[in-house]
Structure 1
């Protein structure tokens, strides 16, 4: 809505601001956002809960939507790191439910740490990773993105029971409660992870992000990398990206400096070369 002009855009922006204000008024719990409110008007996903205390999705979408302030964001990220990050990725929520909770619903029926009951659910993880990239926290984002893929050490392959040829629907969670099976791959291909993982790589890591005015170029090269290259098709054109760590930041489009890192006037059918130094 921020890029939509005219009255229609204004209505959407006003509605978004109203929704964000309501989320802060009713769901902010001091260090993170609650997951929701039950039909009996009980908040859940809050610090007072013994199970399902903190959920990942509310934190990711509070950041993506702009509901969270910088101060809130720092608290949320710290809480996620302490309570949801695992050796195999970031969990959907924790602790997992050990028994049915009728007012929360079907997620509480699953075995603790499996599927939606506190697993490392890669679809949800990719929302959070994208939110981290969106906020410029590229190092943390890349660390969690890399954890979606098994390896590179043999022990990790054996624990997950999967080769690094695809990202499954989830890895078993509950690494504190059930460490023996934590990290085990679901081996399921039916996942919405692919599209969001693609966005994390292309828009976050490589920094090729489409906007109404054109293509924004802002790679976030991990500390252990000195270069990367990528190819992206966008609005009928092809962009060839090369990023190198030189210590001097610059973006060049076909050899010419791009002062604001935004490619405008894109011509369909044309190929462009982007050379970025960081």
Structure 2
């Protein structure tokens, strides 16, 4: 569920309040706070990750934009509503009046860690498995590409990702030091030399 009117992704609707139903410990929270109907940031991030995994770049990036705390500080009114630091992740955002949009437990490292993984792994598509790097971006339609200088121990890989338009004859693919690779994975070697990787990303669904 997405509440675009207030820029929130609540965990559920409606919160448990004056009811005989017992969902467990979440009922111990005030309605609209944390897992009891608020935006529980872990869950919101996982939703964005899920859409990225499905290749739906439009929804993945839209949800990421809603989760981004900096977007709660675009005006004096927004800052007065959010009330916590807009440069760190909050565990939750309240979703019931009169506190709708107020940030909860800030400097929450768990949410920060998941946000980092959402951006780096799910959206930019860089996922490390021991000594192999998977590169499968999920980019907004209007992005032409991006560049990452990726350090593996004492070795730097310069990775350039482009997203050709839908009418481009260029096929998706990946090259390492000018040699085309099979699939979307490169083997990382710590040889203390600079390497260049080019990726032509397949267009994500809009």
Say yes or no: TM over 0.5.
Answer: yes
Find runs of 4+ consecutive structure 1 residues off by over 6 angstroms: none
Equivalent in the alignment of 1:99: 18
Equivalent in the alignment of 1:7: none
Given that residues 238 and 269 in structure 1 are in contact (C-alpha distance below 8 angstroms), is that contact kept between their aligned partners in structure 2? Answer: no
- Please state if 1:124 is matched with 2:43: yes
- Please state if 1:257 is matched with 2:183: no
1:197 maps to which of 91, 115, 135: 115
- Any idea what SS the aligned residue of 2:67 has? coil
Equivalent in the alignment of 2:136: 218
Aligned-pair RMSD on alpha carbons?
2.7
1:268 maps to which of 174, 190, 197: 190
**Is the alpha carbon distance of 1:105 and 1:217 closer, same or farther for their aligned partners in structure 2, counting shifts above 3 Å?**
same
Q: 1:186-232: CA deviations, max 9, x gaps? A: 15223411222111111111111234782211111112333323344
Given that residues 138 and 222 in structure 1 are in contact (C-alpha distance below 8 angstroms), is that contact kept between their aligned partners in structure 2? Answer: yes
Structure 2 distance, partners of 1:134, 1:141, is 9
Given that residues 100 and 109 in structure 1 are in contact (C-alpha distance below 8 angstroms), is that contact kept between their aligned partners in structure 2? Answer: no
Q: TM-score w.r.t. structure 1 length?
A: 0.59
Unaligned ranges ≥5, structure 2: 202-206
Number of residue-to-residue matches in the alignment: 190
Structure 2 distance, partners of 1:224, 1:160, is 30
Given that residues 99 and 109 in structure 1 are in contact (C-alpha distance below 8 angstroms), is that contact kept between their aligned partners in structure 2? Answer: no
- Any idea what SS the aligned residue of 1:115 has? coil
Q: TM-score w.r.t. structure 2 length?
A: 0.77
Equivalent in the alignment of 2:31: 112
Deviation of 1:239 (Å) = 3.3
Structure 2 distance, partners of 1:275, 1:162, is 40
2:52 maps to which of 127, 130, 133: 133
Which of the pair has the greater relative contact order for Cα pairs under 8 Å at 6+ separation?
Answer: 2
Given that residues 126 and 196 in structure 1 are in contact (C-alpha distance below 8 angstroms), is that contact kept between their aligned partners in structure 2? Answer: yes
Deviation of 1:166 (Å) = 1.2
